[in-house]
Each structure stands twice: as C-alpha cells, then as structure tokens.
C-alpha cells in the first residue's frame, strides 16, 4: 500500500509535466491548426536557455523561470512570423513537416554544441532536500513542480475560458474571418498564441532542468507521450489536455506498481482504445 501511494504521487508529478506540455500543444493546435512537432525541441531549448544563462551569465533558477520562456517565446514569435504563417490554409501536414524539420535542426545543432550526455543543472538551494511523507521521501522540488505546473495550467484555462481575451481566442478558433471583420487583429493574435504555447514549453523545460539532465534529446524522449496525451484529451481541448495529462500520469504510476513492464506502453494502449471509441478524443468535438 505504501508503495502504491508512492507511485501515485510520482504519477501526479509526471502528470503535471504532461499537462503543462500538452496544454501548449493544445492551444497551438486549437487556434492555428498546426501540429507543433517542435514542442519537444522548444522544451529542450527552454532548459538550455536556463543552463546557458546560469553558466555564462550567472542568471539563477528564479530569474530563469521568467527569462527563459521569454527568450524562447520571442524565438517562437519569429518562427511564426517567418515560417509558419506561410502555411496557414494548407493541409496541417505541412505545418507538421516544418516543425518536425525544425526539431531535427535544433536537436542536431545542440548535439554538436553540447554533446549527448547533457549538462547538470543544480537544484535551487531553497528547494533542495525534502520531507518524509510517511509512505515516501518527497523532494521539495517535485512538490513545487506539481503546484506550479497546475497553477499555470489553471491560469491558462481561466484566461482562455473565462476572460474577454479568451473569448476572442475561442472565436478565432471558430471563425477567424468573422472575428477579423469585427476589428480584431487576428494575425497578431495567432503570433502571440504561438509564442505563448512555445513559452509554456520553455517554462516546462526550466522546471525540468534540475530534475533531468539538460540534454539535446530530453524533448524527444517526452514528446511522444505528450502527443498521445493530446490525442486522448481531444486535439485542441484546453481542459481536456490538462485533465488527461494529470490522469495519464496517475495511470502510469499505477501501472508501475501493478505491472511495471507495461508502464511505457500503457499510454498508447489507452490512446488506441480512445481513438476506437471516441475518435475526437475524450474532451474533443467532432469537426
């Protein structure tokens, strides 16, 4: 029983990372109709921005938590304006190909620069150590990661579903032309949305840096699961991707307890079943 609680807690931690990453993917797909394959690479970039900031400029973890998403967000802005914009209205496959190519270029370049073994990123001093929570040792940092991830997810959901700005976004998803006719600068909105989604990925990257090794392949290891999460939750559904992310983390945790060999596959099995029963995903709408 003790072990099960331990695994469930770990599942919750992983789940909140899934949620943070799939949220960004979902927002981008929902509005831009672009499958952002570069999401993993941008997550990696976020972690590297924090690492380089620390090593070269002495910028610590806390400022990096804000600065790194900003820097990578600006890069996202450029990607949207210079490249992605040209592909709207075409088959989503083109966007997928472009972002996949970007991933290969970014990962290759970072491998060349930093090697494959990756680099260590120190735990912030305030959050090192942990507490004994009866059934396991909970490192403070992991607890912090869960709380912050869920807060950011909830805030994003609230902005999109409950504010005026969010209503524009949702309107843009439904009918961008009509929205533009009402005087809203839709292209700018698209650009900023992409930048925000990308910044979320970078934010997750900074959060992950002290836990994992900051390495060029860190994104591609995670991105497959995150895509599965988005598909299960329903492409473009904001709440769906958050709930599914956390939920799948928990399911994975339970699998690790009951049948560890299945742990890496269980997400994909669920995905296959969901696609059979509800092709649009658990929270998605048929288009």
Partner 1 sequence: MRTLALLLCIAASAAAAEKESKISDGVVKIGVLTDMSGYYSDIAGSGSVTAAKMAVEDFGGKMLGKPIEIISADHQNKADIASNTARKWFDEEKVDAIADLVSSSTAGAVMPVAAEKKRITLLSGPATTAFTGEKCTAYNVHYTYDNWALANGTGREVVRQGGDSWFFVTADYIFGKSLEEDTSKVVKAAGGKVLGAARHPSPGTTDFSSFLLQAQASGAKIIGLANAGLDTVSCIKQAKEFNITPKQSLAGLLVFISDVHALGLDVAKGMYLTTAFYWDLNDETRKWSKRFFERQGKMPTMVQAGVYSEIRHYLEAIKAAGTDDADAVMAKMKATPVNDFFAKNGRIGPDGLHRHEMYLAQVKSPEESKHPWDYYKILKTIPAAEAFPTVEQQNCPLVKK
Output the smallest distance, CB 38 to partner 1, in A.
18
Q: How far apart are CA 186 and CA 208, in angstroms?
A: 33
What is the footprint of partner 1 within residues 163-182 (CB under 8 A)? Answer: none
Euclidean distance between CA atoms 251 and 201, whole angstroms: 23
Is the Cβ of residue 39 or residue 256 nearer to partner 1 in the bound state? 256
The token pair at 163 is 């504010």
Q: Segment 254-283, which members bind partner 1 (CB under 8 A)?
A: 256-257, 260-261, 263-264
Please state, in angstroms and as integers, the Cα–Cα distance from residue 55 to each residue in 51, 52, 193, 211, following that order.
6, 5, 31, 17
Q: Is 58 left (phi over 0), alpha (psi -120 to 50) or beta?
A: left
Closest CB to partner 1 among residues 38, 263: 263
For the segment 186-245, give every residue that binds partner 1 (CB under 8 A): 211-213, 215, 217-218, 221-222, 224
Enclosing H/E stretch for 168: helix 164-174
State the maximum Cα–Cα separation within the chain, in Å, rounded to a whole number: 59
In angstroms, the CA 1 to CA 74 distance is 47
Nearer to partner 1, 104 or 272 (CB): 104
Rounded-to-integer distance, Cα 254 and Cα 256, Å: 5
State in angstroms the smallest separation of the CB of 242 from partner 1.
Answer: 19
Q: Is 51 in the site for partner 1 (CB under 8 A)?
A: no
> Restricting to residues 106-125, which ones interact with partner 1 according to CB under 8 A?
108, 111, 115-120, 122-123
125 vs 188, beta carbon nearer partner 1: 125
Q: 96: which 2 tokens? A: 């997928």
**Residue numbers at the binding site for partner 1 (CB under 8 A):** 2-3, 6-7, 10, 13-14, 108, 111, 115-120, 122-123, 130, 136-137, 139, 141-142, 211-213, 215, 217-218, 221-222, 224, 253, 256-257, 260-261, 263-264
């Amino acid at each position: 029983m003790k072990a099960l609680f331990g695994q469930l807690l770990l599942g919750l931690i992983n789940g909140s990372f899934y949620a943070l990453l799939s949220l960004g993917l979902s927002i981008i797909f929902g509005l831009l109709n672009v499958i952002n394959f570069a999401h993993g690479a941008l997550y990696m970039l976020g972690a590297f921005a924090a690492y380089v900031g620390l090593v070269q400029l002495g910028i610590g973890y806390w400022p990096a938590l804000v600065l790194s998403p900003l820097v990578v967000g600006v890069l996202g802005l450029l990607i949207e304006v210079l490249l992605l914009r040209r592909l709207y209205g075409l088959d989503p496959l083109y966007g997928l190909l472009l972002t996949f190519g970007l991933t290969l270029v970014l990962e290759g370049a970072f491998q060349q620069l930093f090697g494959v073994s990756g680099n260590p990123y120190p735990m912030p001093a305030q959050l090192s150590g942990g507490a004994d929570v009866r059934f396991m040792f909970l490192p403070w940092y992991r607890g912090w990661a869960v709380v912050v991830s869920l807060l950011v997810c909830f805030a994003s959901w609230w902005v999109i579903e409950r504010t005026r700005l969010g209503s524009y976004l949702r309107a843009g998803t439904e009918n961008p032309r009509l929205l533009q006719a009402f005087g809203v600068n839709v292209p700018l909105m698209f650009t900023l949305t992409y930048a925000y989604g990308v910044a979320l990925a970078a934010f997750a990257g900074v959060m992950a840096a002290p836990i994992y090794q900051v390495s060029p392949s860190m994104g591609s290891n995670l991105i497959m699961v995150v895509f599965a999460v988005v598909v299960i939750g329903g492409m473009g559904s904001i709440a769906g991707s958050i709930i599914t992310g956390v939920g799948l983390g928990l399911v994975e945790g339970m699998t690790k307890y009951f049948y560890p060999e299945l742990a890496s596959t269980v997400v994909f099995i669920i995905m296959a079943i969901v696609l059979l029963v509800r092709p649009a995903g658990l929270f998605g709408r048929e288009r």
